[in-house]
Chains A and B, each alone.
Chain A
Amino acid sequence: MSKEIIKIEDLTREFIMGAETVRALRGISFTINEGEFVTIMGSSGSGKSTLLNILGCLDQPTSGIYEIDGVKMKDLSKNQLATIRNEKIGFIFQSYNLLARTSALENVELPLFYNSKVSSEERRERAIKAIEMVGLKDRMDHTPSQLSGGQQQRVAIARSLVNNPVMILADEATGNLDTRTAYEIMSIFQELNKQGITIIFVTHEPDIATFSNRTIVLKDGNIIQDKLNQKVQSASAELAKLPKEEH
Chain B
Amino acid sequence: MRLINLLKIAFKAIVLNKTRTLLTMLGIIIGVASVIAMLAIGEGSKESIRETISSMGSNMITIRPGADNRGPARGSGGDVQTLTLKDYEKIKQEATLLSYITPVVNGGGQVINGSNNWPSTIYGVNPEYLNIKVVDLQSGSMFTDAEVKSASKVALIGQTVVDNVFPDGQDPVGQMIRFDNIPFKVIGVLEEKGENTFGQDQDDVVIAPYTTVQKRILAIDYLNQIMASAISEDDAPDAVTQVTEILRSQHKLMDSDDDDFHVRSMEELISTFSSTSEMLTILLVAVASISLLIGGIGIMNIMYVSVKERTKEIGLRMAVGGKGSDILMQFLIEAILISITGGILGVILGLGATVFIEKFLNWPTSVALYSIVISFAVCAITGIFFGWYPARKASSLDPITALRYE
Query: Could you tell me if B323 and A82 are in contact, using CB atoms closer than 8 angstroms?
Result: yes
Task: Render B104-116 as a binary contact track against A, CB cut-off 8 A, 1 for contact.
Answer: 0000000000000
- What bracket does the count of chain B residues touching chain A fall in? 20 to 34
Interface 1/0s, chain A 109-150, versus B by CB < 8 A? Answer: 011011110001000000000000000000000000000000
With an 8 Å Cβ cutoff, the count of chain A residues facing the other chain is 28
B318 within 8 A of A: yes
Which of A96-104, A179-187, A230-238 is the interface stretch? A96-104
Docked-complex contact A111 and B320, CB < 8 angstroms: yes
Q: Select which of A59, A60, A82, A159 is within 8 A of B322 by beta carbon.
A: A82
State the CA gap A56–B318 with chains docked (Å): 12
Instruction: Tally the A-B contacts, defined by beta carbons under 8 Å.
Output: 74
Q: Which of A58-86 contact B (CB under 8 A)?
A: 58-60, 78-79, 82-83, 85-86
Partner of A116, one of B1, B320, B399: B1
Interface pair B398/A59, CB less than 8 Å apart: yes
**Min distance, Cβ B306 to any Cβ of chain A, angstroms:** 13
Q: With the chains together, A120 CA to B9 CA distance in Å?
A: 12
Using known A-B contacts A113-B5, A116-B1, determine if residue A60 contacts B320 with beta carbons closer than 8 Å: no
A210 interfacial by beta-carbon distance below 8 Å: no
A101, A110, A163: which contacts B317 (Cβ < 8 A)? A110
Query: Is A91 part of the binding interface, using a Cβ–Cβ cutoff of 8 Å?
Result: yes
The docked-state distance in angstroms from the alpha carbon of A172 to that of B326 is 29
Q: How far is it, in angstroms, between the C-alpha of A85 and the C-alpha of B400 when the chains are bound?
A: 12
B301 to chain A, nearest CB (A): 22
* Cβ of B313 under 8 Å from chain A: yes
Most buried by B among A58, A59, A93, A97: A58
B182 touches A (CB below 8 Å): no
* Among B319, B325, B401: residue with most chain A CB under 10 A: B319
Q: Across the interface, do B323 and A114 meet the contact criterion of CB distance under 8 Å?
A: yes
Identify the closest chain A residue to B318 (Cβ).
A82
Q: Report yes or no: A99 in contact with B313, Cβ–Cβ below 8 A.
A: yes
Residues of A close to B324: CB separation below 8 A: 78-79, 82
B316 interface residue (CB < 8 Å to A): yes
**CB within 8 Å of B: which A29-79 residues:** 53, 56, 58-60, 78-79
Chain B residues whose CB sits within 8 angstroms of the CB of A110 once the complex forms: 316-317, 320
**Using Cβ atoms and an 8 Å threshold, which residues of chain A touch B399?**
58-59, 85
Report B309 CB to chain A, min CB distance, Å: 11
Given A110-B317, A116-B1, CB of A97 within 8 Å of CB of B403: yes
Which B residues are in CB contact (< 8 Å) with A102? 12, 16
The residues of A that contact B400 with a CB separation of less than 8 Å are: 53, 58-59
- Give A3 to B134 CA distance when docked, in angstroms: 101
**Contact of A85 with B319 in the complex, beta carbons under 8 Å:** yes
Pick the contact of B321: A97, A99, A114 (CB < 8 A): A114
What is the CA–CA distance of A102 and B310 in the complex, to the nearest angstrom? 14
Task: Evaluate contact between A58 and B398: CB separation under 8 angstroms.
Answer: yes
- The 8 A CB mask of A198-220 against B (1 = contact, 0 = none) is 00000000000000000000000
Given contacts A58-B403, A60-B398, A78-B324, contact A113 B319 (CB under 8 A): no
B321 A83 Cβ-Cβ under 8 A: yes
Q: Is B2 an interface residue, CB under 8 A from the partner?
A: yes
Whether B8 is near chain A, meaning CB under 8 Å from some CB there, is: yes
**Cross-chain contact B321 with A58 (CB below 8 angstroms):** no
Instruction: Report the Cα distance A87→B322, complex, angstroms.
Output: 11
Contact B320 A86 (CB under 8 A): yes
Minimum distance in angstroms from B15 CB to a CB of chain A: 9
> Inside 8 A of B403's CB, which chain A residues have their CB?
58, 93, 97
Contact B321 A87 (CB under 8 A): yes
* Residues from chain B with Cβ under 8 Å of A86 in the complex: 320-322
Q: What residue in chain A is nearest B323 (Cβ atoms)? A: A82
Contact string against A for B residues 315-357, beta-carbon threshold 8 Å, 1 for contact and 0 otherwise = 0111111111110000000000000000000000000000000
Q: How far is the CA of A120 from the CA of B8 in the complex (A)?
A: 11
Contacts of A116 in B (CB 8 A): 1-2, 5
Shortest distance between the CB of A30 and any CB in chain B (Å) = 21
Shortest B401–chain A CB gap in Å is: 8
Task: State how many angstroms separate the Cβ of B170 from the closest Cβ of chain A.
Answer: 81
Q: Could you tell me if B322 and A114 are in contact, using CB atoms closer than 8 angstroms?
A: yes
Cβ < 8 Å to A, chain B residues 1-21? 1-2, 4-5, 8-9, 12, 16
CB distance from A164 to the nearest CB of B (A): 13
Measured CB to CB, the closest approach of chain A to B204, in angstroms, equals 72
Task: Report Cα–Cα, A56/B399, bound state, in Å.
Answer: 10
Q: A53-B400, A97-B403, A116-B2 are in contact. Are A79 and B313 (CB under 8 A)?
A: no
| Shortest Cβ gap from A105 to chain B (Å) | 12
Q: What CA separation (Å) do A167 and B95 show in the bound complex?
A: 100
Chain B nearest CB from A103 CB (Å) reads: 10
Given A60-B398, A97-B403, A116-B1, answer yes or no on A79-B317 (Cβ-Cβ < 8 Å). no
Q: Which residues of A contact B325 (CB under 8 A)?
A: 79
Q: Are A115 and B398 in contact (CB under 8 A)?
A: no
Docked-complex contact B9 and A97, CB < 8 angstroms: no
Instruction: Contacts A85-B319, A91-B320 known; list 8 others, CB within 8 Å.
Output: A56-B319, A58-B400, A79-B325, A83-B323, A85-B321, A113-B1, A113-B8, A114-B317
Instruction: Give residues in B with beta carbon < 8 Å to A.
Output: 1-2, 4-5, 8-9, 12, 16, 312-313, 316-326, 398-401, 403
The 6 closest A-B pairs by CB, nearest first: A86-B321, A111-B320, A58-B400, A114-B321, A82-B323, A58-B399
- What are 11 pairs between A and B in contact, CB < 8 Å? A58-B403, A59-B398, A79-B324, A85-B321, A93-B319, A113-B1, A114-B320, A114-B322, A114-B326, A115-B321, A116-B5
